[in-house]
């Protein structure tokens, strides 16, 4: 262990010559950049900036570090502002789940001298700057931003460069689109990035592009690849890791990750474009990588049903891989893990839907078992071949767990992904109900009279929707859900974006559409006992959504319980406080055990 156990340390970054590790730490009272010699010893504080800094990366020449900071001009003024706890809001996008209220601050880029710790600001203005990376010669920083008026009104952004010495900012994209994860080619002549032209709003699949470093027309490199780049397969045990495109040393190939069905794999494609080739295993979910191009080796981070996360060394030459860590082996030796059984069926519109079933740990032939249907969030994410702790807990309690990817899920192509367009609670609902029917046909030991349903975020929406349209389930747990799409337009941190594609226009004009697709409008039909779990600092699906649903249920004298978690946000099940994560699972499992005989 390189740092103390009781210290909040994060984002470690090796220096280009491997002499130091730079990392973030809040041990001094605020998040600052620290350096630790690769030879050992005590870490030393490099920055003592007046605001918290988030480390991004070293410059290729090792002389500087790139960092970001949420700030506003008055933060650096000698004149002290009068302190008040009153919030004066002037922008539509004034809060973000997990980050809280913006307080008129924006994310700006800074460079830090790697020897003296001197900090210089690179960007300015009332704009947010992200996805930043260095040019190969360490003279420029490339980033994504919306440096234009009314930025919060549109989903588009641009790519820019800023000269580290002159601070001059140059816009290099000319086509409207969404751009993220840019990276220079080794000689600095081109830039590869992920993005799309927002053809289908938030449902548009990300693709791989390249563009000349000085700007110009972008080239689509994955034109005949009907999958989304990046990992969209969810798990409650691993956090997302940015997987930018990687250039080969000779600049003839690019490496990237993509979600195909219920897995995420490493792919390569010709730098001029073509048909991508899958390289890594097609039965695991890739959620991070680190390349050493000189040796043609890659370290891959995998999540799979039998292993929640370990490192593997992968060869780019012969595609062999070797596991190099066994972090949780001692734990696996002590517990049972239920492995998924795959199935697929044809939806009523001809699409192929795939799903998986986990057997209860106590499974015995000849016995009948209850089943819980799990519904993923999004809707444009996916379930797949990952380890999910919540599902394993339910298996340990004696339940079978069914999870599937209804239309609208990522990993099955653009047409499949578009099926929630203006139709939440339509095709997706029919797919999920058919998934239950087909599971009962395939696994005859499932008891159709002992079914439960649960899901979070969009999965919570679908749970609420199901309860108003079927009485098939004996118990339900709705997590961080949405129940009123009309009010959510104005209360969610991203709700106003849904009118671009998911829902039809402005709610005050097309209110009938929004209300038609709101589960609360069908609350009179609900007969299933419902447990509502919500976080009080959830700004994605605000707690008022749970409050409305609970109040309506109790007013109608339905069986419902509302559990509120303070000091937690939308990510409670994935990154919440450990004691709260445990208590959440206790409430969830107790509800099902109380209402469904195990």
If you average pLDDT over residues 306-313, what whole number do you get?
A: 94
Domain holding 576, by residue range, is 336-595
**CA 356 to CA 365: how far, in whole Å?**
19
Note whether residue 413 is domain-resident: yes
Note whether residue 193 is domain-resident: no
557-587 pLDDT tens trace:
999 999 999 999 999 999 999 999 999 999 9
Tell whether 324 and 344 lie within a shared domain: no
Model confidence at 5, pLDDT cuts 50, 70, 90, reads low
Note whether residue 192 is domain-resident: no
Residue finishing a domain among 278, 302, 334: 334
Tell whether 242 and 253 lie within a shared domain: yes
What pLDDT, on a 0 to 100 scale, did the predictor assign at position 3?
65
Note whether residue 380 is domain-resident: yes
Tell whether 165 and 267 lie within a shared domain: no
**CA 110 to CA 112: how far, in whole Å?**
7
What pLDDT, on a 0 to 100 scale, did the predictor assign at position 4?
62
Q: What's the full length of the chain, in residues?
A: 598
Percentage above 70 pLDDT, the chain: 99
- Determine how many CB atoms are found less than 10 A away from the CB of residue 344: 11
What pLDDT, on a 0 to 100 scale, did the predictor assign at position 551?
98
Residue 68 annotated in active site: no
Q: What integer best gives the mean pLDDT of the chain?
A: 95
Tell whether 440 and 545 lie within a shared domain: yes
Contact 185, 134 (CB under 8 A): no
Classify residue 571 by burial, with Cβ atoms within 10 Å: 0-12, 13-18, 19+: middle
Contact 425, 465 (CB under 8 A): yes
Helices 427-442 and 458-467 sit at what angle, rounded to 10 degrees?
80
Note whether residue 187 is domain-resident: no
Whether 415 has a pLDDT exceeding 60, the answer reads: yes
Tell whether 324 and 446 lie within a shared domain: no
Tell whether 326 and 348 lie within a shared domain: no
538-554 pLDDT tens trace:
999 999 999 999 999 99
Contact 401, 371 (CB under 8 A): yes
Helices 578-595 and 389-396 sit at what angle, rounded to 10 degrees?
40
Tell whether 4 and 33 lie within a shared domain: yes
Catalytic residue among 409, 457, 492, 573: 457
Written as six digits, the tokens of 29 are: 């009272």
Residue finishing a domain among 277, 303, 334: 334
What pLDDT, on a 0 to 100 scale, did the predictor assign at position 514?
97
If you average pLDDT over residues 251-259, what whole number do you get?
A: 98
If you average pLDDT over residues 156-182, what whole number do you get?
A: 96
Tell whether 292 and 363 lie within a shared domain: no
Tell whether 463 and 551 lie within a shared domain: yes
Tell whether 290 and 389 lie within a shared domain: no
Percentage helix, strand, coil, to 5, in the chain? 20, 35, 45
Question: Comparing C-alpha atoms, which of 393, 539, 361 is closest to residue 477?
Answer: 393
Q: Which helix (H) or strand (E) holds 403?
A: strand 400-404
Note whether residue 538 is domain-resident: yes
Contact 67, 56 (CB under 8 A): yes
What pLDDT, on a 0 to 100 scale, did the predictor assign at position 382?
97
What pLDDT, on a 0 to 100 scale, did the predictor assign at position 307?
92
Residue finishing a domain among 279, 307, 334: 334
268-293 pLDDT tens trace:
999 999 999 999 999 999 999 999 99
Question: Comparing C-alpha atoms, which of 464, 474, 471, 470 is closest to residue 598?
Answer: 474
CATH number at residue 560: 3.40.50.1820
Note whether residue 81 is domain-resident: yes
**CA 450 to CA 368: how far, in whole Å?**
9
**CA 213 to CA 142: how far, in whole Å?**
10
71-81 pLDDT tens trace:
999 999 887 77
Catalytic residue among 129, 380, 534, 570: 570
Q: What angle do CA 282, 283, 284 make, to 5 degrees?
A: 100
Residue 30 annotated in active site: no
Note whether residue 291 is domain-resident: yes
Tell whether 290 and 345 lie within a shared domain: no
**CA 558 to CA 158: how far, in whole Å?**
50
Model confidence at 451, pLDDT cuts 50, 70, 90, reads very high
Question: Comparing C-alpha atoms, which of 21, 22, 27, 24 is closest to residue 39?
Answer: 21
**CA 557 to CA 526: how far, in whole Å?**
11
Whether 176 has a pLDDT exceeding 80, the answer reads: yes
pTM of the model as a whole: 0.96
- Determine how many CB atoms are found less than 10 A away from the CB of residue 44: 11
Give the list of residues 6+ apart from residue 588 with CB closer than 8 angstroms, or none: 390, 454, 477, 479, 531, 533
Question: Comparing C-alpha atoms, which of 249, 239, 171 is closest to residue 211?
Answer: 171
Classify residue 286 by burial, with Cβ atoms within 10 Å: 0-12, 13-18, 19+: buried
Contacts of 151-157 with C-beta under 8 Å, sequence gap 24+, read 151/127, 152/91, 152/92, 152/93, 153/92, 155/198, 155/201, 155/202, 155/497, 155/500, 156/198
199-250 pLDDT tens trace:
999 899 999 999 999 999 999 999 999 999 999 999 999 877 889 999 999 9
**CA 580 to CA 427: how far, in whole Å?**
35
Tell whether 43 and 65 lie within a shared domain: yes
Q: Specify the range with the lowest mean pLDDT, choosing from 140-144, 210-214, 238-242, 432-436.
A: 238-242
Query: Greater confidence, 6 or 77?
Result: 77
CATH number at residue 298: 2.120.10.30
What pLDDT, on a 0 to 100 scale, did the predictor assign at position 243?
96
Domain count, the chain: 3
């Amino acid at each position: 262990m390189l740092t103390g156990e009781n210290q909040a340390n994060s984002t470690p970054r090796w220096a280009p010559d491997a002499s130091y590790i730079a990392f973030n730490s809040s041990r001094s009272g605020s998040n600052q950049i620290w350096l630790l010699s690769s030879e050992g010893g005590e870490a030393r504080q490099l920055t003592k900036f007046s605001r918290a800094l988030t480390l991004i990366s070293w410059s290729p020449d090792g002389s500087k570090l790139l960092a970001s900071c949420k700030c506003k001009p008055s933060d650096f003024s000698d004149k002290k502002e009068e302190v008040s706890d009153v919030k004066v809001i002037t922008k539509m996008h004034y809060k973000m789940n997990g980050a809280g209220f913006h307080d008129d601050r924006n994310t700006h880029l800074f460079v830090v001298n790697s020897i003296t710790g001197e900090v210089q600001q690179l960007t300015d203005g009332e704009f947010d700057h992200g996805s930043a990376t260095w040019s190969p010669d360490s003279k420029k920083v490339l980033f994504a931003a919306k440096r234009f008026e009314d930025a919060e009104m549109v989903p588009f952004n641009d790519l820019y460069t800023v000269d580290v010495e002159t601070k001059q900012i140059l816009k290099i994209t000319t086509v409207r689109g969404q751009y993220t994860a840019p990276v220079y080619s080794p000689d600095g002549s081109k830039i590869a990035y992920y993005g799309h032209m927002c053809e289908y709003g938030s449902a548009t699949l990300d693709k791989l592009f390249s563009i000349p470093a000085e700007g110009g027309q972008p080239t689509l490199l994955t034109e005949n690849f009907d999958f989304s780049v990046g990992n969209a397969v969810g798990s409650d045990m691993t956090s997302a890791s940015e997987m930018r495109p990687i250039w080969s040393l000779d600049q003839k190939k690019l490496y990237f990750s993509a979600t195909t069905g219920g897995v995420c794999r490493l792919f390569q494609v010709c730098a001029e474009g073509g048909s991508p080739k899958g390289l890594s295993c097609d039965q695991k979910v890739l959620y991070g990588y680190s390349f050493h191009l000189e040796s043609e080796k890659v370290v891959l981070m995998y999540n799979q049903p039998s292993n929640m996360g370990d490192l593997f060394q992968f060869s780019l030459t012969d595609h062999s891989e070797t596991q190099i860590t066994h972090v949780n082996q001692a734990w696996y030796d002590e517990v049972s893990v239920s492995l998924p059984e795959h199935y697929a069926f044809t939806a009523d519109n001809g699409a192929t839907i795939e799903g998986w079933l986990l057997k209860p740990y106590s499974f015995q032939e000849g016995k009948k078992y209850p089943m819980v249907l799990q519904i993923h969030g999004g809707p444009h994410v996916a379930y797949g071949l990952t380890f999910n702790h919540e599902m394993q807990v339910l298996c340990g309690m004696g339940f079978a767990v069914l999870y599937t990817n209804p239309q609208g899920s990522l990993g099955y192509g653009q047409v499949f992904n578009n099926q929630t367009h203006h139709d939440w609670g339509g095709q997706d609902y029919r797919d999920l109900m058919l998934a239950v029917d087909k599971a009962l046909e395939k696994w005859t030991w499932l008891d159709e009279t002992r079914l439960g349903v649960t899901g979070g975020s969009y999965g919570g929406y679908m749970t609420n929707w199901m309860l108003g349209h079927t009485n098939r389930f004996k118990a339900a747990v709705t997590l961080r859900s949405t129940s009123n799409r009309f009010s959510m337009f104005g209360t969610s941190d991203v709700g106003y974006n849904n009118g671009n594609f998911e829902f039809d226009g402005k709610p005050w004009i097309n209110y009938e559409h929004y209300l038609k697709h709101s589960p609360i409008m069908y609350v009179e039909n609900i007969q299933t006992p419902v447990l509502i779990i919500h976080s009080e600092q959830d700004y994605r699906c605000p707690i008022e959504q749970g409050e409305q649903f609970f109040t309506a249920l109790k007013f109608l004298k339905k069986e419902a319980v509302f559990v509120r978690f303070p000091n937690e946000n939308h990510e409670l099940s994935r990154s919440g406080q450990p004691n709260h994560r445990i208590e959440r699972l206790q409430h969830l499992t107790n509800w099902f055990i109380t209402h469904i005989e195990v």
